[in-house]
Structure 1
Amino acid sequence: MTTLVAGASGATGRKLVEQLLERGEKVKAIVRSPENLPASWQTNPDLEIIKASLLELSNQELQKLTKDCHAIASCLGHNLTLKGVFGKPRRLVTDAVRKLTEAAKANAPEKPVKFVLMNTSGNSNRDLNEPVSFAQKCVIGLLRLTLPPHVDNEKAADHLRLNLGREDELIEWVAVRPDGLINEEKPSEYEIHPSPIRSAIFDAGKVSRINVAHFMAELITSDELWRKWKGQMPVIYSKEMDPK
């Protein structure tokens, strides 16, 4: 089975590629700059590295890239620099999700393609009418006005929720919402919830990037787990270890 990973050179994208390879998956990794990738990637027969800017690929090129893929994952995000936050493309994630899903649908796959989007716990799932405090609503409203990446994350998830919905015959999807991201070397225990169990603004939890990658890889490779979460926006937290 083959999975296409967009944003494969990012902090979480790298870990997702490695998690998939550990599970025996074949992976196509789209990266803008392959120079700093692990040396082992260059010689792995199960990994194809595509050097490209995703949004610059034509519909025909993306259709060819996705043709033999049973799953697509997006770990794309904006660089935390002035240019990355406020420069173009302001709809990097949204446009990538749209182009990838359209390319996959154009192939008319025999079975629905799994699409896994890495999103954020700061984005509410409006399908569930999740409770959000007035203070958090005010902060989110301010983020929409001042931080283009937040709006991009919302619009990307909205494309899946509203444009594809839960009944699309060619694309099934899950939008994974991590809380505060941290770095860890190995997977640890984590929790998955349909909605946030704490405020993403005023009481954010933590989750390691390797745990997010682990969960995304499990979604892609486990049909049972996929059936449980497809069409939803689960929130992931690393379990807090009891001090001893």
Structure 2
Amino acid sequence: MTTLIIGASGATGKLLVEQLINSGNNVKIIIRPSSNIPNRWNNHGSITIIRKNITELSVEETAHHLTACDSVAFCLGHNMTWKGIFGHPKTLVADTVRLFCEAILSTQPGTPVKFVLMNTVGYRNMDLHEKISFAQKIVMTIIRTLLPPHSDNEAAADFLRTKIGKKEPKIQWVVVRPDNLTNENTVSSYETCISPTNSLFNPRKVSRINVAHFMASLVAEKEVWEKWKGKMPVIYNQLTNPDVKP
């Protein structure tokens, strides 16, 4: 099994790479020429490194990089700097998701390509008509207006939900919606839910390594994929159950 990872040099992306290779899986990563990655990745037999600015990829080149890949995992996001938040490209995530979907659709995969997008609990799954309070609607409208990365994340998830849908034979997708991200060193117990259980004003924590573990489980474990394909699970650190629950 080979997974192509976008955003592999980021905080969660690096953890996802480690989760997959430690489980005996192969990965391809597309990273900027200037990206910093662990030194051991450079000579690792399970990692293929492609140094290229993602915004410079054509559909044809992207399709070439997807050769022999069973799945694609997106941990792509905007840098949390002034330029990263308000500079161009403002639609980096949505544009890249669209690019990779177009590349997959241009090929003839033997089986559907798994597409896993790390998004945010702030995105509402309109397939389920998830309800939020009036106060939260106002806050989310302000965030959507003032912070372009949030609108970008929404557009990326909307593209999979409305343009690819659940009946496309070449692509199957899952949108992973973490809540308040934290940094931990080891995988701990976590839970996945069909919709948020807490509001914007009462967030729950989830470690990046737990998100990476869940994303790795999606692409590597058939039963986990079958449970969540075409859905947008929310992930939290487990509060009471001591068992890891993918």
Indicate the TM-score class for this superposition, using the shorter chain for normalisation.
Answer: over 0.9
Q: Contact 2:9/2:35 (CA < 8 Å) preserved in 1? A: no
SS at match of 2:68: coil
Q: Which residue of the partner structure matches residue 15 of structure 2?
A: 15
Q: Which residue of the partner structure matches residue 169 of structure 1?
A: 169
- Match runs of 1:110-149 below 5 Å: 110-149=110-149
> Aligned partners of 1:104, 1:4: CA distance in 2, in Å?
12
Q: Which residue of the partner structure matches residue 6 of structure 2?
A: 6
SS at match of 1:36: coil
Q: Which residue of the partner structure matches residue 50 of structure 1?
A: 50
Q: Give the letter aligned to residue 143 of structure 1.
A: I
Report Cα offsets for 1:75-120 as digits up to 9, x if no partner: 0001111000000010011011000111112111010000000000
Q: Give the letter aligned to residue 46 of structure 1.
A: S
Q: Give the letter aligned to residue 186 of structure 1.
A: T
**TM-align CA RMSD:** 1.2
Q: Give the letter aligned to residue 210 of structure 1.
A: I
Q: CA deviation at 1:33?
A: 4.2
- Taking a change above 3 Å as real, the CA distance of residues 42 and 151 of structure 1, as seen in their structure-2 partners, is same
- Match runs of 1:209-228 below 5 Å: 209-228=208-227
Q: Give the letter aligned to residue 71 of structure 1.
A: S
> Aligned partners of 1:74, 1:142: CA distance in 2, in Å?
26
Q: Give the letter aligned to residue 138 of structure 2.
A: C
Q: Contact 1:6/1:30 (CA < 8 Å) preserved in 2? A: yes
Q: Does 1:239 align with 2:246?
A: no
> Aligned partners of 2:240, 2:36: CA distance in 1, in Å?
33
Q: Contact 1:67/1:107 (CA < 8 Å) preserved in 2? A: no
Q: Does 1:31 align with 2:31?
A: yes
Q: TM-score, normalised by structure 2?
A: 0.96
Q: Which residue of the partner structure matches residue 184 of structure 1?
A: 184
> Aligned partners of 2:85, 2:10: CA distance in 1, in Å?
16
Identity among equivalent pairs (%): 52
Q: Contact 2:26/2:46 (CA < 8 Å) preserved in 1? A: yes
Number of residue pairs aligned between Structure 1 and Structure 2: 241
Q: Which residue of the partner structure matches residue 230 of structure 1?
A: 229
- Taking a change above 3 Å as real, the CA distance of residues 148 and 156 of structure 1, as seen in their structure-2 partners, is same
SS at match of 2:79: coil
SS at match of 1:172: strand
Q: Give the letter aligned to residue 213 of structure 1.
A: A
Q: Give the letter aligned to residue 240 of structure 1.
A: L
Q: Which residue of the partner structure matches residue 86 of structure 1?
A: 86
> Aligned partners of 1:8, 1:236: CA distance in 2, in Å?
20
SS at match of 1:177: strand
Q: TM-score, normalised by structure 1?
A: 0.96
